[in-house]
Structure 1
């Protein structure tokens, strides 16, 4: 068996190891590491003897081991998760052990398919409002990344806060990006100063955190003052308030806020990323856009979409899955190995920091033919069934798989159907630059020219298939 010391990896800089590459070119660095060194790669960050090491695992088999079959041995214990806990609280995303099991028991019934399907009306209303916004876009040009972030935030906030959405959205929109940057900076910093020090970064980050805490607490308190606490108002927050365990256990005020913040973060950034890249890729590929539009027109005609339409939109679902293959919102998932183990023939020592990388595994040439090519038919049922379960895992996997994945798919597919039915798309920016934040980041314009259907000169969508997709090695 290969020893830990023999795990291959880039030599990097003599003093800093791979630190500079991981900071400046994270996605390119991970893709190159798999190509040059294989499916388990050791990275050194910082000076020899003083820096840290971590192991990146790129094979589907390794991802399954970390997230699934040996999940109990791989815990959410690293600097990044510590910063998430300190910033957002100990909600479903960050909690562990008995805390996590308790929260999952209380919250799981809120995410059954029947419950989630009830949110389709709110999604459809927000998609309709987005269409009106696009019709008024100056010059008919919008930035897909910015527009989808705005849309997804409004959609998840509407579902979470219901009638209180208008009071909450501006606060969340203004402060979540700042808190996200703060968590990212501290989570990946080689040295973290105490949060109590009055540095500019601490002041900005903690001010954003206070604003978000206050708006969540205010909504909960106002409901109680109105006599609405403990009543089903049709939104997710009221369902969280009503959630009870078998012994009557429930979430307290602080836990309600923590779960709300987790849902806001996870529910809007991930879906926004998937939607933006799906639109961008369709704008680059007229043939696939034509097929997707024809399906949307056939299923929706001129009516508002419903949850029942999701199963009637298989091609759009495949488009979305292929966009999530090429550009998964969660590019990296970190864990700490409690006990030593063996992954793909390499010994991983106890205490090691381990990453699985959906963006790299999703492009693994042993599992994906021509992995850089956009091809929604990779997700035909028979082809999905023939692949390793963890060749595609944008929602994670195992016991900590994303609880909201059905909602994300419902929201994204129905929104794509509305936009493709109502607008012609053309890519203004054929290539975009990517970066690594808490989720995958677009660091350059991602503009689309959008024309309402039926406008004079609208393209028929039958042009040649565009072979380019955004290049992750630019990030």
Structure 2
């Protein structure tokens, strides 16, 4: 199916793709932009426009680009085969970039997102049962209840509805219900603003070798936002501990506190807080950002929207979705997959550092080399995805040309693939289906495509407003 409209990527307009190149063994660093005296000018370019800068260097220098940014050597990889070799085959030789982890740890502490080595393996293994596909499907009734309640208040009409804010509120409600068995409260808007504040501040701090400490006077807004988020987690943990254990509901917090009760040394309350913070921040943000972009893709591609709605109506017959319905919503799932291709929530995977020399793609890189994987560029590469800026859900259909392994991986790959990917996909599918049961969506007249901006996750530069039309019952 050819979409009626397409959304052009500002990072790729006019790009002339280079053929994928697996070069023979090299003894020197790969090519890259001239660093000048320190290379910090490259940092400034990335802080202003990370994906745009990386795309420019990829066009000029290929799929293995060397950035000399004193005191580091950084390699940018956009070849899917080399990315998989790095993140899967060479996983044991990598750690995550210390500066990035330091910024993330300000809120996430030593959670499964930021931990390394034995601590990470212990946390990951303990949490994995709570994030299997079966476990994710058990939350379908909870997700559907949150969506039903939210959609009652969504307003159709001529004026643009603040759909980004609305999906963010809904995503926060879902994660509060699945984590804490608690509906969204009056402090939700405070938490939404706090998440945005810490995301913008954290993204800015990642690009510099050092940042001013948070106690500096001009960082009071960030400090206030972090207090809001920490107090939200603290309230829920404290309230749960005040209940008798037999009264604890079956949610993620109960699983964490059960680990704490069973082994306080391995799972102190600090660890429970850290994992709650990571689940809360990553859990609602990924789904909310993706559903925001999905709504834009539906508005910009009315034929795809109509096809997805027809499937939803045929499968659900007006019912609330159940877990058993999800496998039958194939086309709807493909619209979400294509949205994740065009607008991955995390378009640049957290940078890795080698702990020892690594051979990769004919090059031999010394210990402490840093690697960056801008999957936002890979997933818009014309060599891998024909008409890369077009919204084409049929790319993911059975019988479609095979997508090269490593070319599409919005949740990462290898042992550190996102632990919450099944829950996120389940949540997005349920909410998208229920949205299409109730609304048609279109862009306001004369609206330009929203510009993506990277602040930890990918969001529109300006808050997205779309026109909702309520369907007749």
Q: Which has the higher contact order (CA 8 A, sep 6+)?
A: 2
State the match for 1:133 in structure 2: 153
State the match for 1:418 in structure 2: 434
State the match for 1:308 in structure 2: 324
**Is the contact made by 1:361 and 1:391 (CA closer than 8 Å) also made in structure 2?**
yes
Q: Any stretches of 5+ residues in structure 2 without a counterpart? A: 1-24
2:364 is paired with a residue whose SS is strand
Measure how far apart 1:167 and its partner are.
6.7
**Is the contact made by 1:27 and 1:435 (CA closer than 8 Å) also made in structure 2?**
no
Separation (CA, whole Å) in 2 of partners of 1:145 and 1:13? 41
Separation (CA, whole Å) in 2 of partners of 1:251 and 1:96? 16
Separation (CA, whole Å) in 1 of partners of 2:187 and 2:255? 18
Aligned residues: 445
Separation (CA, whole Å) in 2 of partners of 1:3 and 1:17? 26
Q: How does 1:11-160 map to 2 (within 5 A)?
A: 11=34, 16-45=40-69, 50=70, 52-135=72-155, 139-160=158-179
Q: Any stretches of 5+ residues in structure 1 without a counterpart? A: 456-475
Separation (CA, whole Å) in 1 of partners of 2:264 and 2:133? 24
Separation (CA, whole Å) in 1 of partners of 2:116 and 2:258? 23
Separation (CA, whole Å) in 2 of partners of 1:12 and 1:431? 34
Separation (CA, whole Å) in 1 of partners of 2:96 and 2:248? 33
Residue of 373, 382, 386 corresponding to 1:369? 386
Comparing 64-73 with 249-258, which one deviates more in the overlay? Answer: 249-258
Separation (CA, whole Å) in 2 of partners of 1:38 and 1:125? 48
Separation (CA, whole Å) in 2 of partners of 1:218 and 1:375? 44
TM-score by length of 1: 0.87
Separation (CA, whole Å) in 2 of partners of 1:86 and 1:420? 39
State the match for 1:193 in structure 2: 212
1:446 aligns with 2:446: no
**For each residue in 1:308-352, what CA deviation from the matched residue of structure 2 results, as whole angstroms up to 9, or x when unmatched?**
221010000001001101111111111111122233333333111
Separation (CA, whole Å) in 1 of partners of 2:318 and 2:27? 62
**Is the contact made by 1:335 and 1:355 (CA closer than 8 Å) also made in structure 2?**
yes
Change (3 A) 1:168 1:116: farther
Separation (CA, whole Å) in 2 of partners of 1:258 and 1:170? 22
State the match for 1:8 in structure 2: 31
Measure how far apart 1:69 and its partner are.
1.0
Separation (CA, whole Å) in 2 of partners of 1:175 and 1:244? 28
Separation (CA, whole Å) in 2 of partners of 1:66 and 1:74? 9
Comparing 274-283 with 242-251, which one deviates more in the overlay? Answer: 242-251
Q: How does 1:322-337 map to 2 (within 5 A)?
A: 322-333=338-349, 334-337=351-354
Residue of 344, 347, 353 corresponding to 2:361? 344
**For each residue in 1:80-128, what CA deviation from the matched residue of structure 2 results, as whole angstroms up to 9, or x when unmatched?**
1111113221001111111111111211111122221121112112222
Measure how far apart 1:251 and its partner are.
2.6
TM-score by length of 2: 0.88
Separation (CA, whole Å) in 2 of partners of 1:168 and 1:255? 24
**For each residue in 1:370-419, what CA deviation from the matched residue of structure 2 results, as whole angstroms up to 9, or x when unmatched?**
212211011013437x3322111101111111111111111111111111
State the match for 1:469 in structure 2: none
**Is the contact made by 2:107 and 2:226 (CA closer than 8 Å) also made in structure 1?**
yes
**Is the contact made by 1:26 and 1:435 (CA closer than 8 Å) also made in structure 2?**
no
State the match for 1:464 in structure 2: none
Separation (CA, whole Å) in 2 of partners of 1:392 and 1:111? 21
**For each residue in 1:111-158, what CA deviation from the matched residue of structure 2 results, as whole angstroms up to 9, or x when unmatched?**
1222211211121122222322223x5744223322222221121122
State the match for 2:21 in structure 1: none
Measure how far apart 1:180 and its partner are.
2.1
Measure how far apart 1:58 and its partner are.
0.5
**Is the contact made by 1:8 and 1:37 (CA closer than 8 Å) also made in structure 2?**
yes
Separation (CA, whole Å) in 1 of partners of 2:395 and 2:317? 27
1:381 is paired with a residue whose SS is coil
Change (3 A) 1:138 1:88: farther
